[in-house]
């Protein structure tokens, strides 16, 4: 389904319904109060505001990772995955700057650099499979709960059970796979200039390869 049709449908639906903007205002005031409440703990206040904008953008642009991946496979539409590639591309540039400066100043590596190995493969496979079965990814779950979907509350409960279970088994996975797996931070392997160049080049390549693939499928 094209974006235009989806947008038109939403628009038509919206017109039929009552104006809910006053409720939006209530939520906004609530959000501001919470932000002020946590202001003494700067980290919490920032996390709250960043979470707010994160959820807002996800919903406003209906960025659903599951739809992105499944459309890529089923219909060949890649516009969503390409948007995610853009997000990673922009993120990489900012992360490179922040990682480089903190690393040289404090020699602490910020960001998520995790051990890679069998556990990553198994976990990612499970995650992809579970996503299709549940019909939602983790950001999608959050966004849909905000939209009023009761089903995603069930997905959330499943998520909590699964994460609990996984954390309980973590020791086993750690002994068998994670302990021996290296955390590979690309700039520390090949140097900053090359790592940034290669990563951005690969992302650009994937972006245009997806465009080509889409043209072929349609």
Using CB under 8 A, which residues numbered 17 to 76 contact another protein? 17-21, 23-24, 27-28, 30-31, 38, 43-44, 46-63, 65-66, 69-70, 72-74
CB of 212 to another protein, least distance (A): 17
Query: How many Cβ atoms sit within 10 Å of the Cβ of residue 113?
Result: 14
- Bridge partners of residue 115, in order along the sequence: 183
Q: How far is the CB of 217 from another protein (least distance, A)?
A: 15
Question: Which is nearer to another protein, 154 or 201 (by Cβ)?
Answer: 154
Query: Rounded to whole angstroms, how far apart are CA atoms 214 and 54?
Result: 28
160 binds another protein (CB under 8 A): yes
Q: Which two tokens stand for residue 175?
A: 């002994």
Q: Rounded to the nearest 5 degrees, what angle is found at the Cα of 182, between the Cα atoms of 84 and 195? A: 50
Tokens found for residue 173: 């996975």
Q: Does 185 bind another protein (CB under 8 A)?
A: yes
Residue span 117-146 as binding mask against another protein, x where in contact by CB under 8 A, dash where not: --xxxxxxxxxxxxxxxxxxxxx-xxx-xx
Least separation in angstroms between CB 192 and another protein: 9
Q: What is the CA radius of gyration of the chain?
A: 21
For residue 125, CA distances in Å to 52, 163, 181 come to: 30, 15, 18
191 binds another protein (CB under 8 A): no
| Residue 54 vs 215, nearer CB to another protein | 54
Is residue 94 close enough to count as binding another protein by CB under 8 A?
A: yes
Locus of tokens 């951005």: 200
Q: Which are the contacts of 135, defined by CB distance < 8 A and separation ≥ 6?
A: 66, 151, 155
| Nearest approach, Cβ of residue 38 and another protein (Å) | 7
Among 32, 33, 39, 163, binds another protein (CB under 8 A): 163
Q: Phi-psi category of 37—alpha, beta or left, where left has phi over 0 and alpha has psi -120 to 50?
A: alpha
- The answer to whether residue 96 forms part of the interface with another protein (CB under 8 A) is yes
């Amino acid at each position: 389904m094209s974006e235009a049709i989806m947008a038109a449908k939403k628009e038509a639906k919206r017109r039929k319904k009552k104006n809910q903007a006053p409720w939006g205002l209530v939520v906004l005031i609530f959000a501001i109060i919470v932000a002020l409440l946590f202001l003494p703990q700067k980290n919490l206040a920032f996390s709250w505001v960043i979470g707010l904008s994160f959820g807002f953008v996800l919903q406003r642009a209906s960025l659903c990772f599951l739809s992105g991946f499944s459309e890529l496979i089923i219909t060949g539409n890649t516009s969503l995955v390409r948007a995610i590639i853009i997000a990673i591309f922009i993120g990489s540039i900012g992360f490179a700057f922040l990682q480089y400066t903190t690393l040289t100043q404090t020699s602490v590596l910020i960001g998520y650099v995790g051990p890679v190995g069998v556990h990553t493969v198994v976990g990612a496979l499970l995650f992809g499979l579970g996503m299709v079965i549940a019909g939602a990814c983790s950001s999608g779950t959050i966004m849909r709960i905000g939209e009023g979907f009761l089903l995603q509350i069930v997905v959330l409960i499943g998520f909590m059970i699964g994460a609990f279970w996984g954390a309980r088994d973590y020791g086993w996975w750690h002994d068998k796979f994670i302990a021996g797996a290296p955390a590979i931070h690309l700039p520390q392997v090949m140097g900053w200039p090359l790592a940034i160049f290669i990563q951005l080049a690969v992302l650009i390549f994937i972006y245009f390869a997806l465009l080509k693939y889409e043209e072929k499928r349609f």
